[in-house]
Amino acid sequence: MKPEDVESVGVLGGGFMGSGIAQTVILAGYKVICRDLTDEIIEKTRDTIINGRFGLKGGIERGKLTQEQMDKALAKLTLTTKVEDLGNCDVLIEAIGNGSGGELENKDTKLKVFAELDTVVKKEAVFASNTSRFTIADMAAATKRKDKFIGMHWLSPANLMKVVEIIWTADNSEETIQLIEGLCKKCSKISVRVKDVPGDTGFIGNRIFYAAGREAQKIVEQGIATPEDIETVMVLGFQWPVGPLGMRQGIRADWGQKK
């Protein structure tokens, strides 16, 4: 399958990341089927896409979109609780978060879901996981489409951040990698290739971010400086938009989306 062959994109998970991905993809002109577990969740997904802090109405207010563009994009969006509605999508992007233990994502849940979806979604479709840390080959092993299973890590908020990490495995064909690169380009994202490695270590952005965060936490624990002073140095001295501790809080709070 080539990038120009993609017509329909499935998004699994309608939370903060899933809604942001769905919003971006419908604005790029693709049909999107976004699936989550309950009607309540998918109605919240719709509200986030339209009225959220980073939603379509805000784009109109800021002069980034017209009402016509918003209406045209929303006409391409289908929200559903039925997993079978994902059956004919050309690309499936998984964005399941919030594990039962409070973690941002749960690997066992993803493995179970991918094994189920492999029997539902057409065999030609490419599966892409938005995981921020799990080894892609491990999740691909739950399916019979290892050559068409790839990592596609969108940074948060997905509809604002310009870069997507594409995590390729030894089983991926060049065609699969280029397909996801083409999808990123159509969505006005810059993509970078990252080699998949064992150990659930994350990719580029999060490995560097968490290393900085660990050092910042050590500085606080050792009484060297306050969290506020760390933020001040990194923002004013290194021109970071937010320091490592503030960044972590923002991610956990979906950047104020839950307020």
How many separate domains does the chain show? Answer: 2
Q: What is the mean pLDDT of residues 125-146?
A: 98
- Whether residues 144 and 228 share a domain: the answer is no
Question: 129 Cβ partners below 8 Å, 6+ apart?
Answer: 93, 94, 110, 114, 136, 139, 149, 150, 151, 152
Q: Is the pTM of this model over 0.85?
A: yes
Range of the domain at 247: 205-253
- pLDDT value of position 113: 96
- Whether residues 88 and 167 share a domain: the answer is yes
- Whether residues 191 and 87 share a domain: the answer is yes
- Whether residues 148 and 233 share a domain: the answer is no
The pLDDT confidence band at residue 99, using thresholds 50, 70 and 90, is low
> Considering the domain boundaries, does residue 187 fall inside one?
yes
- Whether residues 191 and 210 share a domain: the answer is no
The pLDDT confidence band at residue 97, using thresholds 50, 70 and 90, is confident
The pLDDT tens digits of the residues spanning 19-53 come to 999 999 999 999 999 999 999 999 999 999 999 99
